[in-house]
Structure 1
Amino acid sequence: MRSSRRALWRYPLFQIPLIFLGLACLGLLLFAFLGLGRPAVGVAIALDLSNSTYESGDFNAPGSTMSQEIDAVRAYLDENSPQNLRQPNQVQILGFGGEVVPLTKSFSDNSQKVKRQLTQVLQDPQLPEKVEPDQTDIDQVIQKGISSLESLENTCRELLLVTDGKAEVAPATITQAALKKVRLHSIIIGQQAPELRKAALATQGIYLSGQINNLDVLFAEDLFSQFNSNLPWIIFWIGSIWIALMWLLVLPLDRWVLQGMMKLPMPVAGKIALGNAFFWSAATPGIVWRLAGGIPWLSRC
């Protein structure tokens, strides 16, 4: 780089990165405080209705595991409102034992409508027999959830499974979920379920197991927040700020640090300063991809 008495801010190599830095900072503020970039989301929630979830023998008995599952779904639906989201999630609820039974008619972003349908179906005295409560067929409900979510276009597809039993999931089912871009999330109340853990890992889903208390809080706060997060965009803007900052520092690094403090020759100092900017311009997208699970411009979910 040529030596000059001109102030650094008079060079295009300083001015252009400064402009991009300002735009990136503005983008970060808008997305962080206005919640821009939240994805459209479709959620199929599958609830275990086998007889092990109501130990007293009474279907949906107060305090039973089943009752906690249903309360958790209602808590999620309470959060899924136009007051919290510009575009509420499309939600459908399934119940399963040995068979899968829709607890709501179809996907809907009207949470009040979904809750009414859920309450109505739960009052059906034949529902326990319909789900074949003596069995738990996890593989079937995952396939049904994938099939239902496949009808949703331009949305992030989330399948949330809640069960208290062991599960066997065919590798082909996990592969199908990945191909259809369905993320499998499993909440296991009690024992471990290694197959569901593998399914969650393979589809970038969430896996939780153990004696889970406050299931309604988990649904309403943790899961709802993760499904509707614009964190990938926040990470993207932070990465953009970092790249712009590295280019903004080319001239100060060259003139003040490398030439001024370290007394390096001008050609060497210029190459090092530019090399630093080129390095971070190449490395930062990979870091953003790793942290955010993709680049938001290219990956919607």
Structure 2
Amino acid sequence: MKHYSVLLNESIEALDIKPEGIYVDGTLGRAGHSTKILEKLTTGTLIAFDKDTDALEESKKLLGVKPILIHDSFATIGEHLDELGIDKVDGFLFDLGVSSPQFDDADRGFSYRFDAKLDMRMDQTQTLSAYEVVNEYNEDKLVDILKTYADERYAKGIVKAILKHRPIETTFELVSCVKEAYPSSQLKKGHPAKKTFQAIRMEVNNELKDIENALQDAIKYTKVGGRIAVITFHSIEDRLVKQRFNEVATPPKVNPRIPQIEVSQPKFKWISKQIKPSLKELDENNRSHSAILRVIERTEYDG
């Protein structure tokens, strides 16, 4: 299955790749970005992470032995860099969300378009799946997940429908619960199950916490002149990335009329606050319509 790497040229350009540099692709996927990074390296090193064993196997065929491929969450980047004896990195790239092959493989249970067993695991070796979340979580926890991870306004009604029809075995059964809770006037405004599937997927894969940990590691290990580039696909994860980048790259506001004590200056600067897909890319890949690329660069070390 073909995977279209979103904002491919823009993200590679934003990394400002040095031929001898060390780069981390936190979301290997089908190696679209990694392939482009490798093309620009001579003596440099690429380290790529993915939780999905299918993605790793496919990428190995494409990339061969050149990069260091690691089957693990990008939340563990710091641990692996320490094991490799690497304390400074020239660039980090994160392409968040689910890849097209994951969405389009009905058996993975990521999509509301196919009838399949509830799964949604990016790491197929983990125990927790969408089935456990939907059928074993209590009412309050399910409502909280739908609200926190998807801003789902009909969360309570959806959860009541889920509780009424448990056990929910398949994606289409879950879709039916969502439709049961949605007002008929809202059913024509895009697929009603989109937010529910997003929220459950994010819970299954611990996505927000993993992003927080990955950004923390990236900020710690980026060398002066090095960059961090992140592509987001929905407002929940984008809000987190923007907030974290602002914390390290935006100068504190000062009132010129009030005497100031010495204020700590940011150790990063913004390179690109918001890059969106071109009209050409939008025409070629409608899944890129919500993508946003944000990039920061380290200007000095902490302390």
The structure carrying a bigger helix percent of its residues is: 1
Which is higher, the Rg of structure 1 or of structure 2? 1
TM-score by length of 2: 0.31
TM-score by length of 1: 0.32
Query: Which has the bigger relative contact order, CA under 8 A and spacing at least 6?
Result: 1
